[in-house]
Chains A and B, each alone.
Chain A
Amino acid sequence: DVKVTQSSRYLVKRTGEKVFLECVQDMDHENMFWYRQDPGLGLRLIYFSYDVKMKEKGDIPEGYSVSREKKERFSLILESASTNQTSMYLCASSSLSGRENNEQFFGPGTRLTVL
């Protein structure tokens, strides 16, 4: 069974802390994505990566950075967490465009609360 896993389901952090959210996929996918989900706003793309050590900004990259040292792992970093980063964070992966139907496979999400 194909899988995307995220390191935590729930996380509570304090303002100013550095936060790491980890995502691992076992499908040998080239593409990996980080989204945040907020009520009434849907999913907004933070960062994505087409390959190891490669990253591209999405629609809302401010306050975030990412790391892709290995193909299967994509990390989202909040350098200095703020209360407006309280959200549900979703990781996804997909194979390269044109090979299949561009389907993205999602992890279960991490609900982050910043106090």
Chain B
Amino acid sequence: GEDVEQSLFLSVREGDSSVINCTYTDSSSTYLYWYKQEPGAGLQLLTYIFSNMDMKQDQRLTVLLNKKDKHLSLRIADTQTGDSAIYFCAESNTDKLIFGTGTRLQVFP
């Protein structure tokens, strides 16, 4: 079945860039997503990319998609303490989303 994988932890210094990586197996994915979960809260959509794109930029966020390698990344420029959260990669080609395990981003001063 479909599978989405992420590393579990990432630690960065405030002001540096963060790069969170994700690999997936379903080549028919239509959309790929990055969700953010702050402590004690549900998930909130951060950004998404359509499968026929290879890059999307939104302020401090850059999403890169390599369809050939089934690799998705999220770059956060000038990382702030408020970016500390769990980041979930997800993919879909139907109404269902398949989520990764989540990457816990810790930002230290």
Partner of A50, one of B48, B95, B97: B95
Task: Bin chain B's interface residue count.
Answer: 20 to 34
For A109, give its contact among B42, B45, B88, B96 (CB under 8 Å): B42
Once A and B bind, how many residue pairs between them come within 8 Å at the CB atom? 58
Task: Report B38-62 residues with CB < 8 Å from chain A CB.
Answer: 40-45, 48, 50
State whether the Cβ of B99 lies closer than 8 Å to any Cβ in chain A.
Answer: yes
Q: Is the CB of A104 within 8 A of B88?
A: no
CA–CA, A42 and B44, complex, Å: 15
User: Number of A interface residues, CB 8 Å?
Assistant: 26
Q: How many whole Å from B56's CB to the nearest CB in chain A? A: 12
Cβ B96 vs Cβ A45 within 8 A: yes
A90 CA to B88 CA, complexed, in Å: 14
Interface residue? B73 (CB, 8 A):
no
Let me know if B33 is at the binding interface, CB within 8 A.
yes
Over the window 95-115 of chain A, the binary record of Cβ atoms lying under 8 Å from chain B Cβ atoms (1 yes, 0 no) is: 011000111111111000000
A43 touches B41 (CB 8 A): no
* Additional A-B contacts beyond A90-B43, A97-B92 (5; CB < 8 A): A41-B101, A94-B95, A102-B92, A106-B35, A109-B42
Residue of A nearest to B92 (CB): A102
Contact with B along A16-38 (1 / 0, CB 8 A): 00000000000000010101000
B47 to chain A, nearest CB (A): 10
B96 touches A108 (CB 8 A): no
Interface residues of A (CB under 8 A from B): 4, 31, 33, 35, 40-43, 45, 48, 50, 58, 90, 92, 94, 96-97, 101-109
Of A40, A58, A104, the most chain B CB neighbours within 10 A belong to: A104
Which A residue sits closest to B30, measured CB to CB? Answer: A102
